[in-house]
Amino acid sequence: MADPAGSGPAAERDRLRRQVEAVNTAFYEAIESGDLDAMQELWLDDPDAVCVHPGAAPVRGPRPIQRSWALVMAHTQYIQFFLTDVEVSIRAGVASVTCTENVLTGDERTGPDVFGGGRAVATNVFVRTADGWRLWIHHASPVLSRGREDDE
Amino acid sequence: MADPAGSGPAAERDRLRRQVEAVNTAFYEAIESGDLDAMQELWLDDPDAVCVHPGAAPVRGPRPIQRSWALVMAHTQYIQFFLTDVEVSIRAGVASVTCTENVLTGDERTGPDVFGGGRAVATNVFVRTADGWRLWIHHASPVLSRGREDDE
């Protein structure tokens, strides 16, 4: 059914989806700008929060997660994310975003004019709270094989 | 507060947690026994279901996910999972299980008396439905670095 008035379930779904996309974008912007405070605000303040960096074991709880991002940011001179294959799925106050992170980086090893890159796949699960959507789970993993996304 | 009667919120939380642990165990048993029908039943019948095999791009939707497991099972002569570091977290009808998959495998290359192995970290997100908990997201990734779990 069309929903020309912009209200009703379809409009509400669109509104929630845009909120989730915005907070997912804010997450990657926090990494790009090395903004540790912004990163902290995006996470659920709960011991159940879990973060899996590519190739790493899980980090659990707000303080260990925050320390892990401080380390990532300290070792990254330049990083930029180009997200592709972004899919949002919302169920009962929980939203999942899966996306491919196409990453462009520069660091001490590559030098000022050379950039490295890579591809990871991320699952970001957000919980709706009184303060907005907050990250419950971030799981990123390196893409080693060629998938169907390459057809794009 | 103690909850000696086995009712109330604490007992309900325990009951849900045991349900989630059971379905998470059933998921790994389906892989171990190569039971594609059992695997199919565990998944949410929804285009939003997403499965990330270690090192791979996301697979989305029931049929592509089922095909991906058929491929995994066809190429696996023997596989056994020893789960460690299992953490269950439940919010609003959605449950997340993160765990380390310590994997023992045998295939054509290793021969009948030799086993390979590896370690992956998995995030399994289940949704509570009228038919029980169903897999919404499975994201597994290889563990390349040594994490704090090694202290165990």
- Tracing tokens 């892990």 back to the chain, one arrives at A68
Residue B37, pLDDT > 80, answer yes
Q: What is the phi/psi pair of residue B91, to 5°?
A: -145, 120
Give me the pLDDT at residue B9, please: 87
Residue B29, pLDDT > 80, answer yes
Give me the pLDDT at residue B150, please: 39
Q: Which residue of A has its CA nearest to B123?
A: A139
Residues 6+ apart with CB under 8 A from A58: A50, A51, A52, B85, B87, B98, B100, B121, B147, B149
CB atoms within 10 A of CB B3: 13
Does B142 lie at the interface with A, CB-CB under 8 angstroms?
yes
Residue A1, pLDDT > 80, answer no
Contact (Cβ atoms closer than 8 angstroms) between residue B78 and residue B105? yes
Half-sphere exposure in the Cβ direction for B43 (13 Å, CA): 26
Q: What is the pLDDT of residues A14-72, one digit of tens each?
A: 999 999 999 999 999 999 999 999 999 999 999 999 999 999 999 999 999 999 999 99
B136 against B75, higher pLDDT: B136
The tokens describing B140, both together, are: 């597994």
Q: What is the phi/psi pair of residue A128, to 5°?
A: -80, 125
SS (H, E, C) A73-89: HHCCCEEEEEEEEEEEE
Mutation site for A-interface testing, chosen from B16, B71, B89 by largest number of A Cβ within 10 Å: B89
Q: Which residues from chain B sit within 8 angstroms of residue A91, using beta carbons?
A: 48, 93-94, 127, 136
* DSSP one-letter code for A45: S
DSSP, collapsed to helix, strand or coil, labels residue B50 as strand
Q: What is the pLDDT of residues B76-91, one digit of tens each?
A: 888 999 999 999 999 9
Instruction: Report, as an integer, the average pLDDT of B18-27.
Output: 97
Instruction: Report, as an integer, the average pLDDT of B23-52.
Output: 97
- Tracing tokens 């659920």 back to the chain, one arrives at A44
Does B57 lie at the interface with A, CB-CB under 8 angstroms?
yes
Assign B110 a pLDDT band (cuts: 50, 70, 90): low
Give me the pLDDT at residue A147, please: 47
Give me the pLDDT at residue B118, please: 86
Average pLDDT, chain B: 88
Give me the pLDDT at residue A118, please: 85
Identity of the residue in A56, A92, A149 whose CB atom sits nearest the CB atom of B57: A149
Give me the pLDDT at residue A59, please: 97
- % chain B with pLDDT above 90: 70
A81-90, A116-125, B108-117, B120-129: which range is least confident on average? Answer: B108-117
Assign A2 a pLDDT band (cuts: 50, 70, 90): low
Does B61 lie at the interface with A, CB-CB under 8 angstroms?
no
* C-alpha B47: how far from chain center: 19
Q: What is the pLDDT of residues A99-123, one digit of tens each?
A: 999 988 876 565 556 667 789 999 9
Given an 8 Å threshold on Cβ–Cβ distance, is A57 in contact with B100? yes
Q: Which residues from chain A sit within 8 angstroms of residue B95, using beta carbons?
A: none
Give me the pLDDT at residue B111, please: 58
Instruction: Report, as an integer, the average pLDDT of B3-29.
Output: 89
- % chain A with pLDDT above 70: 84
Q: Which residue of B has its CA nearest to A93?
A: B92
Does A109 lie at the interface with B, CB-CB under 8 angstroms?
no
Maximum separation of any 2 CA atoms in chain A, in Å: 56
Identity of the residue in B55, B89, B121 whose CB atom sits nearest the CB atom of A57: B121
**In Å, how far is A82's CA from the nearest CA of chain B?**
16
Cα distances from B115 to residues B12, B101, B121, B142, in angstroms, run: 41, 16, 20, 18
Q: How many CB pairs under 8 A join A and B?
A: 134
Given an 8 Å threshold on Cβ–Cβ distance, is B48 in contact with A127? no
Residue B139, pLDDT > 70, answer yes
Given an 8 Å threshold on Cβ–Cβ distance, is A52 in contact with B141? yes
Q: Which residues from chain A sit within 8 angstroms of residue B143, using beta carbons?
A: 55-57
Tell how strand B78-91 and strand A78-91 pair up.
unpaired
Residue A3, pLDDT > 70, answer no
Give me the pLDDT at residue B102, please: 92
Residues 6+ apart with CB under 8 A from A3: A9, A10, A11
Residue B149, pLDDT > 50, answer no
Q: What is the DSSP string of A81-136?
A: EEEEEEEEEEETTEEEEEEEEEEEEE-TTT-TT--EEEEEEEEEEEEEETTEEEEE
Identity of the residue in B56, B123, B149 whose CB atom sits nearest the CB atom of A143: B56
